[in-house]
Amino acid sequence: MIKIGLFAKKCEYCRTKIEKGKEIRKDVKVPGYVGTHPKNFCCGEHTNKYEYEMEEYMKKPGKSGGCC
């Protein structure tokens, strides 16, 4: 039997597959959207790194995604 990972969850930070039941689900800020949204991570360290990188990304001027 061949397993197809169509619905496998992946870490938002490192994009590796996460075993079922071992994912860490956390509400984080997503650029371009209002509020926070739930995302899956493989470990607590990657949740912290993702949040830090998003904070740094949002601090940079000119990253609004507009045409001008």
41 occurs within a structural domain: yes
pLDDT grade for 49, boundaries at 50, 70 and 90: very high
Q: Are 57 and 63 in contact (CB under 8 A)?
A: yes
Sign of CA dihedral 66, 29, 23, 50: positive
Residue 25 confidence (pLDDT): 93
Half-sphere exposure of 35 (CA within 13 A, CB side): 2
38 occurs within a structural domain: yes
32 occurs within a structural domain: yes
Cα angle at 46 between 10 and 30, to 5 degrees?
A: 75
Tens digit of each residue's pLDDT (9 = 90 or more) over 16-44: 999 888 999 999 988 888 889 999 999 99
Domain carrying residue 44:
23-59
Tell me which amino acid residue 2 is.
Answer: I
53 occurs within a structural domain: yes
Residue 58 confidence (pLDDT): 84
48 occurs within a structural domain: yes
6 occurs within a structural domain: no
Number of domains the chain contains: 1
